[in-house]
Amino acid sequence: MNRFVKRIIMSVLGVTLCGVSVGMFKFAALGVDPFQSLMSGLDAVIPIRFGTLYVIVNAVLLLFALLFDRKKIGIATFINLFLLGYIVEFSQGVCEQLLPDAPLWLRVIILLLAIVVLCLSSSLYFTADLGVSTYDAVALVWSQRQGKIKFAFCRVICDFVCVAAGVLLLLLSGQGLEQIFGAVGVGTIITAFFMGPLITFFNRHVAQPMLGKKA
């Protein structure tokens, strides 16, 4: 199979699995990643379906990336922009239909599975190297334009702003503590500490071998 076709397939598969994992995160209601914390807050105050809202927010971030560094934008960026939100919406709905009133122990298992799926999807998406998500582009562009500020620091600031904004929007919308902890909880902390090593593992054992790369 042509190497470029493989990369496109990996990008589509990565975005699809990412959407499924975020849907599982939202269903488990034990905390999501920082950007999805912001999306949860926006979803609580803006009365449109989540998939459409996701496209609008990412289109705004895409304009930022296009203005400051178009090199970060690729095919995968647009696949992420137009597909991910609707996949999240669909997968969360499937979980709610199949597992209504899921007990806490089952939600914890689903959260752990979601983390593994998210890391696998990220590995496929990054290894394909056909563009980054609009949210990733913000921190990358900021760090490169500032020069002396490392990407890790810029990403931490972006994540903190997203979490804080998400919590504030949830509070303003009158959401209770259960909804707030569903957006910012143990899942948010776990993703912050364990995504890096898991993504590296999947890079070596799944994504890179798919492209015929040595680990």
Classify residue 215: in a domain, yes or no: no
Domain of residue 138, residue span:
3-210
Classify residue 149: in a domain, yes or no: yes
pLDDT in tens, 149-158: 676 677 788 8
Classify residue 167: in a domain, yes or no: yes
Classify residue 7: in a domain, yes or no: yes
Q: Please count the structural domains in the chain.
A: 1
- Residue 182 scores a pLDDT above 90: no
pLDDT in tens, 50-89: 999 999 999 998 888 788 777 778 888 898 888 899 999 9
Classify residue 121: in a domain, yes or no: yes
User: Cα separations (Å) of 152 from 58, 62, 136, 143, 149?
Assistant: 21, 21, 11, 9, 9
Query: For residues 76 and 14, what is the distance between their CA atoms, to the nearest angstrom?
Result: 9
Q: pTM of the prediction? A: 0.85
Query: For residues 70 and 137, what is the distance between their CA atoms, to the nearest angstrom?
Result: 9
